[in-house]
Structure 1
């Protein structure tokens, strides 16, 4: 982690979590979104400090490196919790919720990016 108040955005997001976040069609991305210079969803310019890395992604048109702003990631992860949790056997009980990689990943994205 960087300096005071900085968030480590280099944590790898599991594929199941990315599915729930619903990335846009990667083949339809403009160059700035595909290269991660702007948020993949809202188009806001990004810096190392403000970006959440969504990992290397393969598309028919080639490889892209999308990133997103913290607000979009937190909003999509929050919505994702509402769609994922009711249908997940692991998330259904407190005893097993911690074992769900997707639920735990979404929760962490909300917690770490709602600032």
Structure 2
């Protein structure tokens, strides 16, 4: 594996996945819904370059498997990081001790590499 291939492998912790907003399934192509293309940008993905965004379940019981390219995943994590303090009671009291905010910051830094 080359450095570029190993660099793309980032595991997003399960507790952070719900904080990352995704496009609605009904507007996505089949390739984006099954993870063959970036859920946001549409770039083709491979197992070496894809960031897994977790299996998602729809209200009808169907499942889909969004994945993203590294730059799009980082942008989405940054949005989640910026929105989190306004939704978190701990952040309102003291954002420095919020574990979720620290995890989002660390993930954004990891995706920057």
2:79 is aligned to: 79
Gaps of 5+ in 2: none
Q: TM-score by structure 1 length? A: 0.75
Quote how far apart the aligned CAs of 1:18 are. Answer: 2.8
- What are the residue-to-residue correspondences of 1:58-77 with 2, within 5 Å? 58-59=57-58, 60=60, 62-77=62-77
- What are the residue-to-residue correspondences of 1:29-108 with 2, within 5 Å? 29-59=28-58, 60=60, 62-91=62-91, 92-94=94-96, 96-97=97-98, 100-101=99-100, 103-108=101-106
Quote how far apart the aligned CAs of 1:12 are. Answer: 4.7
| CA contact 1:13–1:55 (8 Å) conserved in 2 | no
Q: Aligned residues, how many?
A: 108
Gaps of 5+ in 1: none
Which structure has more helix as a fraction of its residues?
2
Aligned structure 1 segments of 4 or more residues deviating by more than 4 angstroms? 2-5
Quote how far apart the aligned CAs of 1:26 are. Answer: 2.2
